Amino acid sequence: MAIESNKTVRLSRQRETILAELRKVKTHPTADEVYDMVRRILPRISLGTVYRNLDFLSSRGVVLRLGGAGTQKRFDGTPEPHPHLRCSECGRVEDLMAPIHLPSLAAEEAMGYTSLRCDVEFVGICPMCANSKM
C-alpha cells in the first residue's frame, strides 16, 4: 500500500456533509449514527459511503477514530491501569515501558460517572508498519 501523493482529492457533497455533521455534534457518534445524521440532508447517501469517508477523513487526521485500527477487541491480563502503545495501522497494542504519570479525576469532575479508571494510550505508527510503508 504505497503513498500516492499526486492524487487529486475531491471534496464531494457527501464527504463535505459527513464532515460538517460530525463537527456539529459534541457526542461521538458511531458510523451508523453519522449515517442517520447525514441522511437527513442527503437521503440517497449509502452506508458504504459513510464508512469510506470516515476512513478517509481519519486517515488524513481530519477526524479521530476512537479505539484505533482493527475491529477486534484486545484483552490485557493485568487489570491495574498502565499506559499502552497502539499502532494505528496494524492495531497492535503493547505496554509502554516508560513511567508516565496517570492523570486522575476528582469526583466532582467526573460528570456523574462512577467506578472510574484512567486509560492512557499513545497512538502512533509502530516500527514494523513504518518500514513496510517505504
Footprint of DNA on this chain (CB under 7 A)?
7-15, 30-32, 42, 44-49, 51-53, 55-56, 71-73
Which option in its own copies, DNA, none does residue 58 bind, with CB closer than 5 to 8 A by kind? its own copies
The span of 2-10, 21-29, 40-48 binding its own copies (CB under 8 A) equals 21-29
- 41 near its own copies, rule: CB under 8 A: no
Tell me whether residue 20 or residue 110 sits nearer to DNA (CB atom): 20
Cα–Cα distance, 58 to 96 (Å, whole number): 24
- 59 near its own copies, rule: CB under 8 A: no
- 24 near its own copies, rule: CB under 8 A: yes
Cα–Cα distance, 69 to 89 (Å, whole number): 6
Which option in its own copies, DNA, none does residue 42 bind, with CB closer than 5 to 8 A by kind? DNA
Q: Cα–chain-centroid distance for residue 125?
A: 14
Cα–Cα distance, 103 to 121 (Å, whole number): 12
Which residue reads 491495574 in cell numbers?
80
With beta carbons less than 8 A apart as the criterion, state whether 65 and 47 touch.
no
Tell me whether residue 110 or residue 125 sits nearer to DNA (CB atom): 125
How many residues in the shown chain lie near its own copies by CB under 8 A? 71
Half-sphere exposure of 111 (CA within 13 A, CB side): 0
